[in-house]
Amino acid sequence: MSEDSWMNNPALGGIDPAKLQMLSSLAAQAHGKSQNELLPFLMAAMSQSQSNHMSFNSAETEAIISVMKIGKSPEQIQQIDRMIAMVKSFKR
């Protein structure tokens, strides 16, 4: 899967292209960050997207997560799930 091919997945068809472009930009910026660097980066990105009035509803979020997991190993999927759980715990 090429770097941006996930954006063309039909499961994401109902998501605003501007949101997908923002995600692509964030993914590029996050590339190569360690797990310790990633959480603060994601928290800052969430804050910035909220200040720009760009948010994702539950259906969009679930679709994006599902597409992110395609082709990943069980270990990578567990890592994604752990990261999502951490982000959710900080949002409370």
Domain assignments of the chain as residue spans, ordered by start? 35-92
Q: Is 74 exposed, middle or buried (0-12, 13-18, 19+ CB in 10 A)?
A: exposed
What token pair was written down for 88? 């959710």
Q: What is the mean pLDDT of the chain?
A: 83
Q: What is the pLDDT at residue 92?
A: 61
pLDDT digits (tens, 9 = 90+) for 51-74: 888 888 888 888 988 888 888 899
E-strand ranges in the chain read none
Q: Rounded to an integer, what distance in angstroms lies between the CA atom of residue 1 and that of residue 64?
A: 15
Q: Which residues of the chain have pLDDT under 70?
A: 1-4, 91-92
Q: What is the reported pTM?
A: 0.72
